[in-house]
Amino acid sequence: MTVVVLALDALDAGLVEHFDLDAVRLTSSNDLETFAHTQDVPYTPEVWATVATGLPPEDHGVTGGGTSEWDNPVLEALSRISGRFDESTRGTLGKVVRSKTGERERIARTDAESMFDAEGAVVHNWPGVADGRPLQRAWDLMNAVAEGMDRSEFERELFGQCAQQFAWATEMLNHPVAVAGVHVHALDAAGHAYADDEAALRHAYERVGAFVTKIVDALEDGDDLLLLSDHGMHAAFYPPDEGENPATHSFRAYASSTADTCPATVYDVREWVETRASTTRVEGAGREEAVDVPEDHLRELGYLE
């Protein structure tokens, strides 16, 4: 069976209670201890690479300037110099470089072993481990909102991407997969955009909650679902955040699972997932059936050389 790991970026433990969002309160749940390394608050690529590997940033290498990579060696060197700038400053500098040079950075990937390297494990869009382009697209949407993108377009793009990511996770339940992990950036982008708009952010949480419910409904006996966040988000309307700057990361990370336990810290997640996965039998694993592809026909169509 399958352990599905949903990395719900910026799912805030306090806001889950504030919005009374039962959809993400599964069999067990708790605050998840997270960390800040190069910045004063948790930083997405650093934390998610730690979640996947169980290692601190200085060991997995996705940290500071190493959270992004450039093909141009000069830009790569400048990126490492800017590694200790705050996220907003790095984002602004990156945007200037992209507009002036046409170059685009990539989300860096660790060389360390992760829970997604195990047999039967698959991953989609996980910062520091897998394809980072969906995360970059979410970051682009946040920049577009800051420049005046209207709400309807922002939400269409944001939740359209979110729907694709949840659909991938749901589909993995139909295959012989032991662990399926996917990162979803919808709540982080919505949190930055709507930190002073309670109704809009509540709507975003409820939309994500509805996607979670669909996965829960698709689980079969022996399957497990684990929800995680890397940090939360300060909000102007949330009473405990009085005096904090809205739309900045909080330390209120969250974990919830369909099992009877949850990881206590971001460093515990890998062991928790691998322990759960080791107690399940993946039906169909080990059977390798060749696919009979009509190569001559594909060559005629131009698909093969």
Helix runs in the chain, H state only:
13-18, 44-53, 57-60, 73-81, 87-101, 133-146, 151-172, 186-194, 198-218, 269-278, 295-301
Among the four given CATH numbers 3.40.720.10, 3.90.1180.10, 3.30.420.40, 3.40.50.2300, the one describing domain 3-52+117-286: 3.40.720.10
pLDDT for 80 = 47
Band the pLDDT of 116: cuts 50, 70, 90.
very high
CA 271 to chain centre: 18
C-alpha distances (whole Å) from 226 to each of 164, 169, 231, 255, 301 are 18, 12, 16, 7, 44
What phi and psi values does residue 38 have, to the nearest 5 degrees? Answer: -85, -15
pLDDT at 97: 46
- Residue 185 CA to residue 29 CA, distance in Å, equals 20
As a whole number of angstroms, the distance between CA 65 and CA 61 comes to 10
Q: What is the pLDDT of residue 108?
A: 86
Instruction: Give the model's pLDDT for residue 10.
Output: 98
Confidence of residue 165 (pLDDT cuts 50, 70, 90): very high
Token look-up 């336990």 returns: 261
Would you state the structure tokens that stand for residue 255, as one six-digit string?
A: 């974990």
Instruction: Spell out the domain ranges in the chain.
Output: 3-52+117-286
pLDDT score of 105 more than 80: no
**pLDDT tier for residue 81 given thresholds of 50, 70 and 90:** very low
Whole-prediction pTM: 0.84
Q: Which of 45-49, 83-87, 163-167 has the lowest mean pLDDT?
A: 83-87
Q: Are 103 and 123 in contact (CB under 8 A)?
A: no
pLDDT, residue 66, reads 54
**Which of 12-16, 82-86, 137-141 ranks highest by mean pLDDT?**
12-16
